[in-house]
Protein backbone atom coordinates (compact mmCIF):
# COMPACT_ATOMS: atom_id res chain seq x y z
CA UNK A 1 0.00 0.00 0.00
CA UNK A 2 0.93 3.62 -0.35
CA UNK A 3 2.74 4.95 2.71
CA UNK A 4 2.72 8.56 3.79
CA UNK A 5 3.86 10.74 6.67
CA UNK A 6 2.12 13.78 8.04
CA UNK A 7 3.85 17.02 7.17
CA UNK A 8 5.31 19.01 10.08
CA UNK A 9 2.51 21.01 11.71
CA UNK A 10 4.51 24.21 11.29
CA UNK A 11 4.47 23.71 7.51
CA UNK A 12 0.73 23.01 7.49
CA UNK A 13 0.08 26.12 9.60
CA UNK A 14 2.02 28.21 7.09
CA UNK A 15 -0.13 26.93 4.23
CA UNK A 16 -3.32 27.62 6.19
CA UNK A 17 -2.34 31.07 7.34
CA UNK A 18 -4.60 32.98 4.87
CA UNK A 19 -7.73 30.93 5.67
CA UNK A 20 -10.37 31.07 8.40
CA UNK A 21 -12.59 28.14 7.44
CA UNK A 22 -11.35 24.87 5.97
CA UNK A 23 -12.42 21.32 5.29
CA UNK A 24 -9.98 18.76 6.64
CA UNK A 25 -10.31 15.56 4.69
CA UNK A 26 -8.71 12.24 5.51
CA UNK A 27 -8.85 9.07 3.44
CA UNK A 28 -10.10 5.71 4.62
CA UNK A 29 -7.66 3.68 2.52
CA UNK A 30 -3.84 3.51 2.51
CA UNK A 31 -3.13 6.53 4.73
CA UNK A 32 -5.46 5.13 7.38
CA UNK A 33 -3.39 1.93 7.51
CA UNK A 34 -0.14 3.85 7.96
CA UNK A 35 -1.71 6.25 10.49
CA UNK A 36 -0.97 9.34 8.46
CA UNK A 37 -4.41 10.46 7.33
CA UNK A 38 -7.27 8.32 8.66
CA UNK A 39 -10.22 9.47 10.74
CA UNK A 40 -8.14 9.45 13.92
CA UNK A 41 -5.39 11.55 12.41
CA UNK A 42 -7.96 13.99 11.05
CA UNK A 43 -9.37 14.56 14.56
CA UNK A 44 -5.92 14.86 16.06
CA UNK A 45 -4.70 17.34 13.48
CA UNK A 46 -7.93 19.35 13.66
CA UNK A 47 -7.56 19.66 17.42
CA UNK A 48 -3.89 20.67 17.13
CA UNK A 49 -4.55 23.20 14.38
CA UNK A 50 -7.46 24.78 16.27
CA UNK A 51 -5.34 25.14 19.40
CA UNK A 52 -2.38 26.51 17.47
CA UNK A 53 -4.51 29.11 15.70
CA UNK A 54 -6.36 30.09 18.88
CA UNK A 55 -3.03 30.70 20.55
CA UNK A 56 -2.09 33.14 17.80
CA UNK A 57 -5.45 34.89 18.00
CA UNK A 58 -6.57 33.76 14.55
CA UNK A 59 -9.21 31.05 15.14
CA UNK A 60 -9.67 28.47 12.44
CA UNK A 61 -12.99 26.77 11.75
CA UNK A 62 -12.49 23.17 10.67
CA UNK A 63 -14.99 20.71 9.22
CA UNK A 64 -13.79 17.12 9.41
CA UNK A 65 -14.52 14.33 6.97
CA UNK A 66 -12.95 11.00 6.04
CA UNK A 67 -14.34 9.36 2.91
CA UNK A 68 -13.65 5.70 2.15
CA UNK A 69 -11.24 6.76 -0.59
CA UNK A 70 -10.24 10.11 -1.96
CA UNK A 71 -8.54 8.88 -5.12
CA UNK A 72 -11.77 7.87 -6.89
CA UNK A 73 -13.72 10.53 -8.78
CA UNK A 74 -17.04 9.47 -7.20
CA UNK A 75 -15.78 10.09 -3.68
CA UNK A 76 -13.96 13.25 -4.72
CA UNK A 77 -17.14 14.68 -6.23
CA UNK A 78 -19.04 13.96 -3.02
CA UNK A 79 -16.26 15.67 -1.09
CA UNK A 80 -16.40 18.66 -3.39
CA UNK A 81 -20.04 19.18 -2.40
CA UNK A 82 -19.06 19.17 1.29
CA UNK A 83 -16.38 21.73 0.53
CA UNK A 84 -18.89 24.38 -0.45
CA UNK A 85 -18.47 27.42 1.76
CA UNK A 86 -14.95 26.64 2.91
CA UNK A 87 -11.95 28.65 1.78
CA UNK A 88 -9.58 25.70 1.35
CA UNK A 89 -9.35 21.94 1.75
CA UNK A 90 -6.53 20.36 3.71
CA UNK A 91 -6.19 16.79 2.46
CA UNK A 92 -4.48 14.01 4.38
CA UNK A 93 -4.73 11.60 1.47
CA UNK A 94 -1.80 10.62 -0.73
CA UNK A 95 -0.74 12.76 -3.68
CA UNK A 96 -3.19 10.90 -5.89
CA UNK A 97 -6.15 11.80 -3.69
CA UNK A 98 -5.09 15.45 -3.50
CA UNK A 99 -5.01 15.66 -7.29
CA UNK A 100 -8.32 13.83 -7.78
CA UNK A 101 -9.99 16.21 -5.36
CA UNK A 102 -8.31 19.26 -6.91
CA UNK A 103 -9.80 18.24 -10.26
CA UNK A 104 -13.28 18.34 -8.73
CA UNK A 105 -12.72 21.64 -6.92
CA UNK A 106 -12.03 24.25 -9.53
CA UNK A 107 -12.13 27.31 -7.29
CA UNK A 108 -10.99 25.98 -3.91
CA UNK A 109 -7.34 25.28 -3.16
CA UNK A 110 -6.52 21.73 -2.04
CA UNK A 111 -3.52 21.65 0.29
CA UNK A 112 -1.55 18.47 1.00
CA UNK A 113 -1.18 17.61 4.68
CA UNK A 114 1.01 14.55 4.17
CA UNK A 115 4.09 13.62 2.21
CA UNK A 116 3.51 10.52 0.09
CA UNK A 117 6.64 8.51 0.64
CA UNK A 118 6.57 5.03 -0.89
CA UNK A 119 4.73 1.78 -1.57
CA UNK A 120 5.53 -0.59 1.21
CA UNK A 121 4.50 -3.08 3.84
CA UNK A 122 4.03 -3.02 7.58
CA UNK A 123 7.15 -4.50 9.16
CA UNK A 124 5.81 -4.19 12.70
CA UNK A 125 3.47 -1.84 14.57
CA UNK A 126 4.48 1.68 13.62
CA UNK A 127 7.19 0.57 11.18
CA UNK A 128 6.76 0.54 7.40
CA UNK A 129 9.31 -0.21 4.72
CA UNK A 130 9.50 0.30 0.99
CA UNK A 131 8.83 -2.76 -1.15
CA UNK A 132 7.93 -1.53 -4.64
CA UNK A 133 8.99 1.35 -6.87
CA UNK A 134 6.40 0.74 -9.60
CA UNK A 135 9.21 0.24 -12.12
CA UNK A 136 6.74 -1.06 -14.66
CA UNK A 137 8.27 -4.49 -15.32
CA UNK A 138 8.12 -6.82 -12.34
CA UNK A 139 11.13 -9.07 -11.72
CA UNK A 140 9.91 -10.78 -8.59
CA UNK A 141 9.51 -14.20 -10.23
CA UNK A 142 13.23 -14.28 -10.92
CA UNK A 143 14.31 -12.94 -7.56
CA UNK A 144 12.29 -15.12 -5.24
CA UNK A 145 9.77 -12.42 -4.36
CA UNK A 146 12.35 -9.92 -3.11
CA UNK A 147 12.64 -6.76 -5.21
CA UNK A 148 16.17 -5.60 -5.97
CA UNK A 149 14.87 -2.35 -7.44
CA UNK A 150 13.14 -1.26 -4.24
CA UNK A 151 15.35 -2.98 -1.69
CA UNK A 152 18.91 -2.89 -3.04
CA UNK A 153 20.41 0.54 -2.39
CA UNK A 154 22.13 0.35 -5.80
CA UNK A 155 19.25 -1.34 -7.61
CA UNK A 156 21.61 -4.08 -8.82
CA UNK A 157 19.98 -6.78 -10.92
CA UNK A 158 22.53 -9.60 -10.89
CA UNK A 159 23.92 -10.17 -7.44
CA UNK A 160 25.29 -8.09 -4.59
CA UNK A 161 27.93 -5.41 -4.73
CA UNK A 162 31.20 -5.64 -2.83
CA UNK A 163 29.67 -3.74 0.06
CA UNK A 164 27.40 -6.55 1.19
CA UNK A 165 28.69 -7.80 4.52
CA UNK A 166 27.18 -10.40 6.83
CA UNK A 167 23.83 -9.97 5.12
CA UNK A 168 23.76 -6.21 5.60
CA UNK A 169 24.04 -3.26 3.23
CA UNK A 170 27.06 -0.96 3.29
CA UNK A 171 24.83 2.07 2.78
CA UNK A 172 23.00 1.54 6.04
CA UNK A 173 24.03 -1.09 8.54
CA UNK A 174 20.52 -1.93 9.72
CA UNK A 175 19.31 -2.57 6.18
CA UNK A 176 19.31 -6.15 4.93
CA UNK A 177 21.25 -6.75 1.72
CA UNK A 178 18.50 -7.40 -0.84
CA UNK A 179 20.71 -9.87 -2.67
CA UNK A 180 21.39 -11.82 0.51
CA UNK A 181 17.60 -12.03 0.98
CA UNK A 182 17.17 -13.12 -2.63
CA UNK A 183 19.86 -15.81 -2.24
CA UNK A 184 18.36 -17.13 1.00
CA UNK A 185 14.88 -17.18 -0.46
CA UNK A 186 15.87 -18.94 -3.69
CA UNK A 187 17.88 -21.45 -1.67
CA UNK A 188 14.89 -22.30 0.51
CA UNK A 189 12.76 -22.64 -2.63
CA UNK A 190 15.38 -24.93 -4.24
CA UNK A 191 15.66 -22.45 -7.11
CA UNK A 192 19.26 -21.29 -6.84
CA UNK A 193 19.71 -22.08 -10.53
CA UNK A 194 17.68 -18.95 -11.26
CA UNK A 195 20.71 -16.97 -10.23
CA UNK A 196 22.49 -18.27 -13.34
CA UNK A 197 20.02 -16.43 -15.58
CA UNK A 198 21.33 -12.98 -16.35
CA UNK A 199 18.71 -10.30 -15.89
CA UNK A 200 19.17 -7.74 -18.66
CA UNK A 201 19.50 -4.10 -17.81
CA UNK A 202 16.11 -2.49 -17.35
CA UNK A 203 14.94 -0.26 -20.07
CA UNK A 204 13.95 2.68 -17.95
CA UNK A 205 13.14 4.62 -21.10
CA UNK A 206 10.24 2.42 -22.16
CA UNK A 207 9.28 0.60 -18.97
CA UNK A 208 8.94 3.67 -16.87
CA UNK A 209 8.22 7.35 -17.39
CA UNK A 210 9.11 7.57 -21.03
CA UNK A 211 6.28 9.87 -22.02
CA UNK A 212 5.32 11.60 -18.82
CA UNK A 213 2.74 10.06 -16.51
CA UNK A 214 2.14 6.37 -17.22
CA UNK A 215 -1.32 5.20 -18.15
CA UNK A 216 -3.02 1.81 -18.20
CA UNK A 217 -5.82 1.34 -20.70
CA UNK A 218 -8.16 -1.68 -20.62
CA UNK A 219 -10.28 -1.51 -23.73
CA UNK A 220 -12.64 -4.21 -22.35
CA UNK A 221 -13.50 -2.04 -19.36
CA UNK A 222 -13.97 1.25 -21.14
CA UNK A 223 -17.48 2.65 -21.43
CA UNK B 1 -10.04 36.81 47.15
CA UNK B 2 -10.28 34.98 43.86
CA UNK B 3 -7.54 32.48 43.24
CA UNK B 4 -6.57 30.28 40.34
CA UNK B 5 -7.41 26.63 41.03
CA UNK B 6 -6.07 24.62 38.11
CA UNK B 7 -8.50 22.30 36.42
CA UNK B 8 -6.91 18.86 36.23
CA UNK B 9 -8.21 15.97 34.15
CA UNK B 10 -6.91 12.63 35.42
CA UNK B 11 -7.25 9.58 33.19
CA UNK B 12 -7.17 6.69 35.64
CA UNK B 13 -6.53 3.09 34.71
CA UNK B 14 -9.17 0.91 36.36
CA UNK B 15 -6.46 -1.54 37.42
CA UNK B 16 -4.37 1.02 39.31
CA UNK B 17 -5.40 4.69 39.15
CA UNK B 18 -9.05 4.13 40.08
CA UNK B 19 -8.33 1.86 43.10
CA UNK B 20 -5.64 4.34 44.19
CA UNK B 21 -8.19 7.17 43.96
CA UNK B 22 -10.66 5.12 46.01
CA UNK B 23 -7.94 4.42 48.56
CA UNK B 24 -7.21 8.16 48.80
CA UNK B 25 -10.91 8.78 49.39
CA UNK B 26 -11.11 6.03 52.04
CA UNK B 27 -8.11 7.55 53.80
CA UNK B 28 -9.84 10.96 53.56
CA UNK B 29 -6.80 12.45 51.83
CA UNK B 30 -7.34 15.81 50.24
CA UNK B 31 -6.95 16.19 46.47
CA UNK B 32 -7.09 19.39 44.39
CA UNK B 33 -10.60 20.86 44.21
CA UNK B 34 -10.92 21.24 40.47
CA UNK B 35 -10.26 17.62 39.54
CA UNK B 36 -12.07 15.47 37.01
CA UNK B 37 -11.35 11.76 37.14
CA UNK B 38 -11.91 9.85 33.91
CA UNK B 39 -11.78 6.08 34.47
CA UNK B 40 -10.39 4.07 31.56
CA UNK B 41 -10.24 0.26 31.38
CA UNK B 42 -6.48 0.49 30.76
CA UNK B 43 -4.15 3.50 30.45
CA UNK B 44 -3.58 2.28 26.90
CA UNK B 45 -7.16 3.26 26.13
CA UNK B 46 -6.13 6.90 26.49
CA UNK B 47 -5.83 8.12 22.92
CA UNK B 48 -3.57 11.03 22.02
CA UNK B 49 -6.73 12.84 20.98
CA UNK B 50 -8.19 12.56 24.50
CA UNK B 51 -5.15 14.36 25.89
CA UNK B 52 -5.41 17.17 23.35
CA UNK B 53 -9.19 17.49 23.65
CA UNK B 54 -8.93 17.89 27.41
CA UNK B 55 -6.61 20.85 26.93
CA UNK B 56 -8.59 22.23 23.99
CA UNK B 57 -11.70 22.23 26.16
CA UNK B 58 -10.15 24.10 29.01
CA UNK B 59 -8.20 21.77 31.29
CA UNK B 60 -5.08 23.40 32.70
CA UNK B 61 -3.33 20.07 33.08
CA UNK B 62 -3.81 16.42 32.26
CA UNK B 63 -2.37 13.43 34.05
CA UNK B 64 -2.56 9.74 33.20
CA UNK B 65 -2.42 7.32 36.12
CA UNK B 66 -1.11 4.05 34.70
CA UNK B 67 0.14 0.79 36.15
CA UNK B 68 3.84 0.37 36.81
CA UNK B 69 5.90 -0.61 33.80
CA UNK B 70 5.90 -4.36 33.11
CA UNK B 71 2.83 -4.66 35.31
CA UNK B 72 0.02 -4.00 32.82
CA UNK B 73 -2.86 -6.46 32.73
CA UNK B 74 -3.02 -5.87 28.99
CA UNK B 75 0.76 -6.29 28.63
CA UNK B 76 1.81 -2.91 27.20
CA UNK B 77 -1.14 -0.56 27.67
CA UNK B 78 0.87 1.60 30.06
CA UNK B 79 3.75 1.79 27.57
CA UNK B 80 1.35 2.78 24.82
CA UNK B 81 -0.03 5.53 27.04
CA UNK B 82 3.51 6.75 27.69
CA UNK B 83 4.36 6.82 23.96
CA UNK B 84 1.17 8.72 23.15
CA UNK B 85 1.81 11.19 25.93
CA UNK B 86 5.31 11.86 24.60
CA UNK B 87 3.86 12.31 21.12
CA UNK B 88 1.25 14.74 22.46
CA UNK B 89 3.88 16.66 24.44
CA UNK B 90 5.91 17.05 21.26
CA UNK B 91 2.82 18.35 19.46
CA UNK B 92 2.08 20.83 22.24
CA UNK B 93 5.56 22.27 22.02
CA UNK B 94 5.17 22.75 18.28
CA UNK B 95 1.92 24.65 18.65
CA UNK B 96 3.14 26.79 21.53
CA UNK B 97 1.69 25.14 24.65
CA UNK B 98 3.78 24.01 27.60
CA UNK B 99 4.41 20.26 27.46
CA UNK B 100 4.47 20.17 31.27
CA UNK B 101 0.69 20.39 31.21
CA UNK B 102 0.67 16.70 30.28
CA UNK B 103 2.22 13.99 32.38
CA UNK B 104 2.00 10.33 33.30
CA UNK B 105 2.33 8.73 36.73
CA UNK B 106 2.86 5.03 37.29
CA UNK B 107 0.98 3.96 40.36
CA UNK B 108 -0.07 0.80 42.23
CA UNK B 109 -3.54 -0.15 43.48
CA UNK B 110 -2.73 0.60 47.11
CA UNK B 111 -1.00 3.93 46.54
CA UNK B 112 -3.70 6.28 47.78
CA UNK B 113 -1.14 8.57 49.36
CA UNK B 114 0.94 8.76 46.18
CA UNK B 115 -2.23 9.51 44.19
CA UNK B 116 -3.16 12.47 46.40
CA UNK B 117 0.41 13.79 46.68
CA UNK B 118 1.00 13.58 42.91
CA UNK B 119 -2.15 15.58 42.23
CA UNK B 120 -1.28 18.18 44.85
CA UNK B 121 2.20 18.56 43.32
CA UNK B 122 0.69 18.86 39.87
CA UNK B 123 -1.71 21.56 41.05
CA UNK B 124 1.22 23.52 42.51
CA UNK B 125 3.21 23.21 39.27
CA UNK B 126 0.18 24.25 37.21
CA UNK B 127 -0.35 27.30 39.41
CA UNK B 128 3.23 28.33 38.63
CA UNK B 129 2.55 27.72 34.93
CA UNK B 130 -0.68 29.72 35.02
CA UNK B 131 -4.06 29.06 33.42
CA UNK B 132 -4.32 27.30 30.09
CA UNK B 133 -3.86 30.16 27.59
CA UNK B 134 -6.51 28.62 25.32
CA UNK B 135 -9.18 29.17 27.96
CA UNK B 136 -8.12 32.79 28.39
CA UNK B 137 -8.30 33.37 24.65
CA UNK B 138 -11.60 31.60 24.10
CA UNK B 139 -13.44 33.14 27.00
CA UNK B 140 -11.37 35.79 28.75
CA UNK B 141 -14.17 36.99 31.02
CA UNK B 142 -15.36 33.64 32.26
CA UNK B 143 -12.30 31.57 32.92
CA UNK B 144 -13.79 28.46 34.44
CA UNK B 145 -10.86 27.94 36.73
CA UNK B 146 -10.51 31.40 38.15
CA UNK B 147 -12.90 32.51 40.79
CA UNK B 148 -13.02 29.45 42.97
CA UNK B 149 -12.23 30.30 46.56
CA UNK B 150 -9.41 28.24 47.96
Number of domains composing chain B: 1
**Is residue B30 situated within a structural domain?**
no
Per-residue pLDDT band at A210 (split at 50, 70, 90): low
Whether the ipTM is more than 0.90: the answer is no
**Is residue B1 situated within a structural domain?**
no
**Is residue B46 situated within a structural domain?**
yes
* H helix runs in A17-72, sequence order: 30-33, 39-55
Per-residue pLDDT band at B148 (split at 50, 70, 90): very low
Report the residue of chain B nearest A44, measured CA to CA. B49
**Are both A24 and A58 inside the same structural domain?**
yes
**Is residue A76 situated within a structural domain?**
yes
Considering chain A, what is the average pLDDT of its residues? 94
Interchain contact, B96 vs A50, CB within 8 Å: no
**Are both A109 and A192 inside the same structural domain?**
no
**Is residue B5 situated within a structural domain?**
no
**Is residue B25 situated within a structural domain?**
no
In which domain, by residue range, is B71 found? 41-138
For residues A193 and A198, give the distance between their C-alpha atoms in angstroms, rounded to a whole number: 11
Mutate to test the interface with B, among A51, A61, A125 (most CBs of B within 10 A): A51
Q: What pLDDT, in 10s, does the model give residues A134-143?
A: 988 899 999 9
Per-residue pLDDT band at B138 (split at 50, 70, 90): low
**Are both A40 and A81 inside the same structural domain?**
yes
Interchain contact, A50 vs B56, CB within 8 Å: yes
Q: What percentage of chain A carries pLDDT values higher than 90? A: 82
In which domain, by residue range, is A66 found? 2-117
Mutate to test the interface with B, among A8, A35, A48 (most CBs of B within 10 A): A48
What does the pLDDT read at residue B149?
44
Q: CATH code at A41?
A: 3.40.50.2300
Across the interface, of B49, B94, B97, the residue whose CB is closest to A10 is: B94
Nearest residue to A27 (alpha-carbon basis) of A113, A137, A88, A142: A113
**Is residue A32 situated within a structural domain?**
yes
For residues B78 and B82, give the distance between their C-alpha atoms in angstroms, rounded to a whole number: 6
Contacts of A185 (CB under 8 A, 6+ apart): A143, A144, A145, A146
Amino acid sequence: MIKAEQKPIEEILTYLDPYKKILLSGCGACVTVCHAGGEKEVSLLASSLKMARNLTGKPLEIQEITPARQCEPEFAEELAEKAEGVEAVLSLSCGVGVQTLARSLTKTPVIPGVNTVFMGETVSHGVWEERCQACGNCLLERTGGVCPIARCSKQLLNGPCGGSSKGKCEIRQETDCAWQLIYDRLKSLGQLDKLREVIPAKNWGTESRDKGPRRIVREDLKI
Amino acid sequence: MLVFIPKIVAFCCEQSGVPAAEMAETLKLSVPANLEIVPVPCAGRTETLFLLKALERGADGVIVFACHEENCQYLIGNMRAKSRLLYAQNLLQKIGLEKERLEICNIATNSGVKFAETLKDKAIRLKELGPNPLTRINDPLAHANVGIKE
